[in-house]
Chains A and B, each alone.
Chain A
Amino acid sequence: MNVKKRSSILVSGSKLSVCPGVISSLKIIEAENITKTFNGFTAVDGVSFYINRGEIFGFLGPNGAGKTTTINMLTGLAHITGGRVKLLGEDYTCNVKKAQALMGIVPDESNLYEELDGWENLCFCGSLYGMDKKRREERAEELLAQFGLSEAAKRPFKAYSKGMKRKLAIAAGLIHQPEILFLDEPTTGIDVAFARQIRSLIVDLHSRGTTIFLTTHYIEEAERLCERLAFIVQGKIVREGTVEEMMKEIQGENIVNFTLGKDFTSEGDFTKIEEEFRSRFPDFNLKMGKNSSVSIHSPATFNLFPFIQFFEVRGLPVFEAKIKRPSLEEVFVKVTGIELQKMQGEQNQKGKKGRKGGG
């Protein structure tokens, strides 16, 4: 692989402007039928996808779906059992070291050095990629400013907050100006304010032409940030495409959320109401939502009054009725059959455990 030649073109700062038509259509990463088995257990099962230059590609799936294993295989932290991976068109399945110079990797948990300060951590990471002293120091300064960490540059990494640690980890992944940045769950386990900052950083990096492979379990995050997505469940990609392509699957469905004045005391109560609903409105679907809410799904627009009346006569006053715009969440639930709340709950538990373990 002519890594030097290629990176010199790309690192020169004219990533998309040299020959936009050609360069932007280049596939940075191509995974072909990659498989990973651990002692007979198949963690990733014949997964294929590609990532175009300059795009944010989202990898979405529940805990244990195979997201991190896939990243580990692509970046060299796990051997590939079957299939092959290409970077800029060249196979690196058997020689990942060749490709690592062009990758920036930000794991789900911080892996920087607690005893070093922010500045030293960035310079050390730069040196691992063979950057000379002057270049890595300039780059560290630039990144600290870009990530709003200049004031904390000389503070030990262990004194950083969780959000600052995550930001520095992203900066460390970018120190050598990689072709592609792997972000594994970048906003998991950090507070809302830092998560927002990190999302805007991702948008900013994207606007500068950085190619990003993002794994997340936050569907809204994926919908907002990614151009193309893949859903992975139990080691298999169940759907892949652009956000628009995926949304087409549920277009035409009308959803109205009703907030009721009373909770269903048991699932049996809901089943009873659902049965009555089905016999009264056979063309509509009723689904149970959070707390005291339900949603009605229909292929056509509909008058709300008969439904309000239906609930009222059963002692369920309607406090609010809201039209729900279709979102990627519906596509995910439809395709995978996995309830989002359950998936995010599991991930949050994982984040908390990680924090305890790390602390």
Chain B
Amino acid sequence: MKTWIAFSSILMKDMRSYYLKPPNISWGLIFPIAWTLMFFLRSPVAVEVRDLLPGVMALSILFGTTSMLAVTITFERKSRSFERLLLAPISLNLLMLAKTSGAIMFGVINAFVPVVFASFLTDLSGINWLVVIGSVLLIAITSTFLGLFIAVSVSQVFEAQTFSNFFRFPMLFLCGLFIPLTDLPVYIRPLSYVLPLTYGADLLRLAVNQNGTLPLYLSFTALLFFSIFLFAYSIYNVNRKWIL
């Protein structure tokens, strides 16, 4: 069977039905502007746009992907249309990759919206674009798989939203974007290192402003590990909970 037809069809349907809808496009545009303005308004000293860029990019991906995927999959489960996908003669791994690809692409696009805005406001020369692209892709994959993990853990759409925040908000404050990791209390610091966004944000800081604190290979490896773990655990849960 031509499985790529099924894969591309699921991806295209999700893009059309969810990710390219006007409210989601406006979310992608408004979110980075809101975060940037928040930093400007709250900071007592002048803020350099380029310093903000890694954080805003990382948060745009995290917030864009986790809730979108968790909500869409939970919604499809509720309306039983997800059952149709489970009954299709494609492997569960391929099916879940098709379902998550749309969210990954949405996350990548979201990440570059603040870059486009920043290009009008500041000089972006000296950025290691290769590392930026690799980091954005890995953060998007990890965050999407976190969304998948959330989707298979809940049964209602509202639970997907609240459970997403259970992971996102600690990450927001503990990943080193607001408070440098070295300034965190010693007993909280280990928690930062078990959060994927810590590595993603550090990679982006390294690529954009050359001020990362962790080695490049360590951050890449950690994100890869989180992605594989979250995907494998989610597939295990789908098999256990959705195929009775």
Which A residues form the contact surface with B (CB < 8 A)? Answer: 38, 72, 75-79, 97-101, 103, 105, 107, 109-116, 124-125, 127-132, 172
**Chain B residues with CB below 8 A from A111, complex form:** 79-81, 83-84
A120 to B5, alpha carbons, bound, how many Å?
A: 15
Sample of 7 more A-B contacts, CB < 8 Å, known A78-B244, A111-B81, A112-B84: A38-B244, A97-B90, A98-B89, A112-B81, A128-B90, A129-B6, A130-B1
Asked if residues A132 and B2 are in contact (CB atoms below 8 Å), the reply is yes
11 interchain pairs, CB-CB under 8 A: A77-B243, A97-B91, A100-B87, A100-B89, A101-B1, A116-B17, A127-B9, A128-B85, A130-B2, A130-B5, A130-B89
A197 to chain B, nearest CB (A): 23
Asked if residues A101 and B89 are in contact (CB atoms below 8 Å), the reply is yes
Asked if residues B80 and A100 are in contact (CB atoms below 8 Å), the reply is no
B4 to chain A, nearest CB (A): 8
Which listed residue (B10, B13, B79, B87) contacts A77, Cβ 8 A? B87
Which listed residue (A112, A115, A125) contacts B17, Cβ 8 A? A115
A174 to B86, alpha carbons, bound, how many Å?
A: 17
Q: Chain B at the A interface: mostly helix, strand, loop or mixed?
A: helix
A-contact bits for B125-166, CB 8 A (1 contact / 0 none): 000000000000000000000000000000000000000000
**Chain B residues with CB below 8 A from A75, complex form:** 87
B56-106 contacts to A, CB under 8 A, are 79-81, 83-91
Asked if residues A129 and B80 are in contact (CB atoms below 8 Å), the reply is no
Asked if residues B86 and A77 are in contact (CB atoms below 8 Å), the reply is yes
**Chain B residues with CB below 8 A from A105, complex form:** 87
Total contacting residues, chain B, CB less than 8 A: 24
**Chain A residues with CB below 8 A from B90, complex form:** 97, 128
A127 nearest in chain B by CB position? B9
Q: Is B3 part of the contact surface with A, judged by Cβ < 8 Å?
A: yes
A204 to chain B, nearest CB (A): 24
B8 to chain A, nearest CB (A): 8
Of the candidates B13, B89, B91, the one having the most CB atoms from chain A within 10 angstroms of its own CB is B89
A102 nearest in chain B by CB position? B89
Of the candidates A75, A99, A128, A132, the one having the most CB atoms from chain B within 10 angstroms of its own CB is A128
**Chain A residues with CB below 8 A from B87, complex form:** 75-77, 100, 103, 105
Given contacts A76-B86, A77-B244, A79-B243, contact A114 B5 (CB under 8 A): no
Asked if residues B83 and A129 are in contact (CB atoms below 8 Å), the reply is no
B100-115 contacts to A, CB under 8 A, are none
B2 nearest in chain A by CB position? A130
A-contact bits for B5-33, CB 8 A (1 contact / 0 none): 11011100100010000000000000000
A66 to chain B, nearest CB (A): 13
Asked if residues A129 and B244 are in contact (CB atoms below 8 Å), the reply is no
B91 nearest in chain A by CB position? A97
A121 to B196, alpha carbons, bound, how many Å?
A: 38
Asked if residues A110 and B244 are in contact (CB atoms below 8 Å), the reply is no
**Chain A residues with CB below 8 A from B83, complex form:** 77, 107, 111
Given contacts A79-B243, A79-B244, contact A100 B5 (CB under 8 A): no
Given contacts A77-B244, A79-B244, A111-B80, contact A130 B3 (CB under 8 A): yes
Given contacts A100-B87, A109-B80, A112-B84, contact A76 B243 (CB under 8 A): yes
A132 to B3, alpha carbons, bound, how many Å?
A: 11
Asked if residues A97 and B13 are in contact (CB atoms below 8 Å), the reply is no
